[in-house]
Structure 1
Amino acid sequence: MKNNILLKLSSIRLGILFLAVTFIGCEKDFLEVNPTDRLSEVAIVQDSTLFEAYVINRYLGVRLTDKEGDGSVPGFGRGYEYAMMGTVTDEAIYNNDDNTWLIQQGQLSPENTGILGTFWGRSYRSIREVNYALKNISDVEMSESGKAKLIAELKFIRAFRYHDLIRNYGEVVLMGDRVSELGDDFSNPELFEKTSIQESIEYVIEELNQAAEGLPLHNDGEWEDGRATKGAALALRSRLLLYAASPLYDNDNSDPQKWQRAADAAQDVMDLGIYSLYQDGYADMFLTEGSHSEIIFARYYNINERHTALEIANGPNGYGGWGGQVPLQNLVDDYEMADGSEFNWDDPEEANSPYENRDPRFYESILYNGAEYRGREVETFTPGGLDSQDGPDNWNTSKTGYYLRKFINEDLPIQNPWEVAGTQNWIYFRYAEILLNYAEAQNEVSGPDESVYNAVNQIRSRNGVEMPALPAGLSQEEMREAIRQERRVELAFEEHRFYDVRRWKIAMETENVPAYGINIRKAEDGSLSYDRKIALEGRSFEEQHYWLPIPRQEIQSSDGQLEQNPGY
């Protein structure tokens, strides 16, 4: 009998049982071959280097659906996939569907979860893997300080996975430190009993408190890039406590104490004094190699470990691109004018030149008709526009009239990118989010005091953005809307909008608005006319969609003991 641990694992039962240990029976033969894709459990526990490698690999996930991790395995979130999270919000649609339209059109079901069906399985698999490491770390020959750091990392990873479960499903099953095995008795309904949202959040917050105590302020040395720090743990705590105070999580009852905890958690990150806003250009913040002052926690890619080639996946058809995430007019209209006023289609001057004098972040995030890009202007007008349906590869023409610019590196090729593109970092937490977390929570506690204004205006005044400061004298409600507006444009396409509109409980409004695009007609004299259009029919959101359905196969794997979310 041999006892082996697989580095590539498979799931079973609810998503809570994930086999790291497989038992392989064999009889003694004249030739015995050890599988080359497996390391023995004993070897990993007895070799501190192998054990640390096991821990590091818990920052990664596995491919559970088609097109995930194109180039390398997924990390904590979808990140740079073909269809990103923004394509199931009012930020964008995915041009060629890729299992996103059903979500936009309100057809989400336990049997049909689209691109959102992997959170449950991947998270519980990771939690089981972390629990295995925590159970066995005492047997590893390693310094106590080394063990303490790894334990803190493991608690951070487990906390991140639970945070992903909670923000997607609401009530979830807390596993504690249990390590499930194949021979366990799964008939006990307590194994599948959900815990309340608030209890679950408190469990995760305590995990993060412990993680923050054991993690360093900075990582140095081999294998350190992309590993958790004290700041990462505190940033995750800040996000989760902000969620906990929000209407969806607090049953619509405004609790000042919860908002105060969220404000204090964001302040704890600010007080570390090691993070600041990136000042060398909004777009470059996402393209700079390695770390910089705004990154709190990120996944770092390089030429040997690449993600989806963004340039071809999202490029305009006239350049040989595939369209990909195409921004909606809904988002375009929400970028302010350069003077801080709202864009207004009823203003003839603005309507005739809708892309002039806008918030600089608009130009850094979205490719629009007339934008300078790779040596020419983008042409989405008809007739004859190179990036319109009259251009080459017209099946890749944007359905909205816009293309994604944020995250795209113009120094990387669109055509034949396979060996060179896909190296941009994916940022999980950055300092601007923390400032916005603080501003939102503090405004709910005390209204728009000086610290709230300062947090938002720091972002608006950074080099490369330089938007006017928010007007003085805003009411609490006006400041609330201003902060939501700032999150809308500052954090666009970074996996925030999906969760923000839900936690604010405004998704019934924002997600039931049609998915708008633009038709641009060019007259013989060269003048342009603009007409809003519906880019994707049937956009719909219902009350049950505030939480995702647990995939049907997970309910079945529990023999029906796991309770489905309401409405499904």
Structure 2
Amino acid sequence: MKNINKSVLFLSAISLLLLNACKKDYLNVTPTNLLTAQTIFGDSVLTEVYVVGRYTGVQLTSENAGPSFQRGFDSPWLSSITDESIHTQDNGSFIVQQGNVTPDNASFLTNFWFRSYRSIREINYAFANIDNVPMSNGTKTRLKAELHFIRAYRYHDLIRAYGDVPLVGDKVWGLTDKDYTPLFTRSPKQDCIAYAVNELDQAIAGLKNAKLADGRASVGAAMGLKSRLLLYAASPLYTDGQNNPTKWAAAAAAAKAVMDLGTYSLYPNYKAEFLTNKTSEDVYERVYSTSVQHSQLELLNGPNGYNGWGGNTPLQNFVDGFQMSNGKAITDPSSGYNPQDPYTNRDPRLAQTVLYNGHPYRGRPVEFFLPGGKDSKDGIANWNTTLTGYCMLKYMDENLNPNDPLNLYKDQTQTQPFKYIRYAEILLNYAEAQNEAVGPDNSVYAALKLIRTRAGMPEITPGLSQADMRTAIQNERQVELSFEDHRYFDVRRWKIANVTENVPAYGVHPVKNADGSITYTKFVALANRKFADKNYWMPIPQSEILSSGGLLKQNPGY
């Protein structure tokens, strides 16, 4: 076995630096700043700390970029490798946008593999020791359920990134093992989803009546993730284009089960939902402590005229997806859309998601116009100017201060949560799966009505065909779930990425005329966006292929 010591699958270091005894006397020195496995799993309090640490404990790089439990808002978001946004400073996102990802260089996408398998190994380590911990059976059952949930979430990340992946079971693999073949054998993606769903079923059983702190698993969180996984399992990418009504029906039933809990409802204020902890809509979220410095969201993504750094800047491609307030697409000649007055009478979620020229923000209208706009390249810090004529508003807290260039991190600690699973997603999961299973019945319209009524939008046009309803649901997901790590995977599972990702990344140039009026001109903000069939799945890191001695097979095309 070549380079076996490099594989994250079985040699990732245990978090909290668990120690193994060393046989060499001259090396057998116990550092005083490390905890032994005997200490951690000999104490019920430390065991619980270890389990809680598995939610967010894996950090393989200094960057916070990446999906799921690592979502820290820094650097490029997943949106910036889709048709939602691009990143002002690139930071490894352009190679994905332009189709140049390789097994040796997948930018921050590599973290899917390494972080997930390292976490799975840490979870397996806990399972191997937890039965010996002195604690009540009830507490032990709950902690095991949390571990099942986290392990399912890690596999969910792996499956939607790579498709077929190795299922490593409960074993903690190490150097004393002789046959590592199971670690390098990729199971079919449908089997992988079935495994993750079984993990979630065990989590659901063990979490009944459990009341845990914000950010930890619950019955609803496990059921919500099950809904998402079964929706993926029914989607064209996962069924190789073969429509399977039974799978769609299972996905609809999983979403309906969450709806029937009666626990969740849409939060009345869409914009405030993303600034508020523990709302009625939150099925599963990550919360942040105000006592610990982490991300400076407003600084990283705000307009340069407010001393912001631009960051993840929305695309015209994305903005064009918002309908007019009458429910018609801007491409409909009867919609009333005026490209020279582009933000009037639009879906209210546009003004709650995107900063555009003239949008009120922190006491003045945003000025992306040229010449002379405070937030344009004529303003301060022109290297941080938006690349697209837009900046981010969703997640932005105007009570946090990015206007202190001499003390950039003062009063800027991110407090807003990240919503991994919202009730709006559950409703959209149900509408999509039910439409595919039986067509656009009344329950599909009812689910969409809840979302659109909260947004201030009219109901979906009655009497749509199944195909037209499919298009309507895809558009609703694009708008409602924007910048929440969905779009990258949605366009792939629907197998429309060959369309959405093969057009330029567009922006808009607002030009101020002598009479004070503004002329808007569409332009290419990032050219050469490319998507090939191989890009439906990410490449497995080349280091892992080499570490397996060639047993681990690469995704086709790489």
* TM-score tier after normalising by the smaller chain length: over 0.9
Partner of 2:441: 449
Partner of 2:248: 259
Q: Helix, strand or coil: the match of 1:518?
A: strand
Q: Helix, strand or coil: the match of 1:352?
A: coil
- How has the CA–CA distance of structure 1 residues 452 and 33 changed in structure 2, closer, same or farther, with 3 Å as cutoff? same
Q: Is the 8 A contact 2:167 2:187 kept in 1?
A: yes
Instruction: Work out the number of aligned pairs and report it.
Output: 546
Match of 1:117 among 110, 126, 144: 110
Return the alpha-carbon distance in structure 1 between the equivalents of residues 336 and 521 of structure 2.
13
Partner of 1:40: 36
Partner of 1:512: 502
Note if 1:361 corresponds to 2:356.
no
Partner of 2:526: 536
Q: Is the 8 A contact 1:306 1:423 kept in 2?
A: no
Q: Is the 8 A contact 1:380 1:520 kept in 2?
A: yes
Instruction: Give me the identity figure in percent.
Output: 51
Q: One-letter code of the match for 2:87?
A: Y
Return the alpha-carbon distance in structure 2 between the equivalents of residues 283 and 467 of structure 1.
15
Return the alpha-carbon distance in structure 2 between the equivalents of residues 77 and 420 of structure 1.
19
Q: Deviations over 1:33-55 (max 9, x none)?
A: 74243111111111111111111
Give the C-alpha shift of residue 14 in structure 1.
Answer: 4.2
Q: Deviations over 1:7-51 (max 9, x none)?
A: xxxx9414333233543538779x997424311111111111111
Partner of 1:52: 48
Note if 1:18 corresponds to 2:12.
yes
Return the alpha-carbon distance in structure 2 between the equivalents of residues 247 and 367 of structure 1.
34
Q: One-letter code of the match for 1:263?
A: A
Q: Is the 8 A contact 1:13 1:554 kept in 2?
A: yes
Q: One-letter code of the match for 1:384?
A: G
Alignment of 1:430-441 (within 5 A): 430-441=422-433
Partner of 2:191: 199
Partner of 1:400: 388
Note if 1:215 corresponds to 2:212.
no
Return the alpha-carbon distance in structure 2 between the equivalents of residues 218 and 428 of structure 1.
20
Return the alpha-carbon distance in structure 2 between the equivalents of residues 554 and 349 of structure 1.
51
Match of 1:553 among 523, 538, 543: 543
Q: Is the 8 A contact 1:443 1:449 kept in 2?
A: yes
Q: Deviations over 1:373-410 (max 9, x none)?
A: 00110011111111111111101111100000000000
Give the C-alpha shift of residue 306 in structure 1.
Answer: 4.2
Give the C-alpha shift of residue 64 in structure 1.
Answer: 2.4
Give the C-alpha shift of residue 562 in structure 1.
Answer: 0.8
- How has the CA–CA distance of structure 1 residues 505 and 540 changed in structure 2, closer, same or farther, with 3 Å as cutoff? same
Return the alpha-carbon distance in structure 2 between the equivalents of residues 46 and 543 of structure 1.
51
Match of 2:324 among 323, 333, 337: 337
- How has the CA–CA distance of structure 1 residues 417 and 339 changed in structure 2, closer, same or farther, with 3 Å as cutoff? farther
Q: Deviations over 1:141-197 (max 9, x none)?
A: 1111111111111000100000100000000000111101233235x4333111001
Give the C-alpha shift of residue 65 in structure 1.
Answer: 3.1
Note if 1:162 corresponds to 2:152.
no
Query: Runs of 5+ in structure 2 lacking a partner?
Result: none
Aligned-residue CA RMSD (Å) = 2.0
Q: Is the 8 A contact 2:330 2:337 kept in 1?
A: no
- How has the CA–CA distance of structure 1 residues 278 and 553 changed in structure 2, closer, same or farther, with 3 Å as cutoff? same
Return the alpha-carbon distance in structure 2 between the equivalents of residues 202 and 348 of structure 1.
48
- How has the CA–CA distance of structure 1 residues 345 and 295 changed in structure 2, closer, same or farther, with 3 Å as cutoff? same
Match of 2:400 among 390, 412, 421: 412
Q: Helix, strand or coil: the match of 2:470?
A: helix
Query: Runs of 5+ in structure 1 lacking a partner?
Result: 1-10
Q: Helix, strand or coil: the match of 1:244?
A: helix
Partner of 1:493: 483
Give the C-alpha shift of residue 419 in structure 1.
Answer: 4.7
Match of 2:283 among 296, 321, 325: 296
Match of 2:229 among 227, 231, 240: 240
Return the alpha-carbon distance in structure 2 between the equivalents of residues 63 and 99 of structure 1.
18
Q: Helix, strand or coil: the match of 2:186?
A: coil
Return the alpha-carbon distance in structure 1 between the equivalents of residues 471 and 337 of structure 2.
26
- How has the CA–CA distance of structure 1 residues 26 and 185 changed in structure 2, closer, same or farther, with 3 Å as cutoff? closer
Return the alpha-carbon distance in structure 2 between the equivalents of residues 75 and 24 of structure 1.
34
Q: Is the 8 A contact 1:78 1:85 kept in 2?
A: no
- How has the CA–CA distance of structure 1 residues 349 and 540 changed in structure 2, closer, same or farther, with 3 Å as cutoff? closer
Return the alpha-carbon distance in structure 2 between the equivalents of residues 559 and 32 of structure 1.
33
Q: Helix, strand or coil: the match of 2:166?
A: coil
Return the alpha-carbon distance in structure 2 between the equivalents of residues 75 and 476 of structure 1.
32
Return the alpha-carbon distance in structure 1 between the equivalents of residues 10 and 492 of structure 2.
26
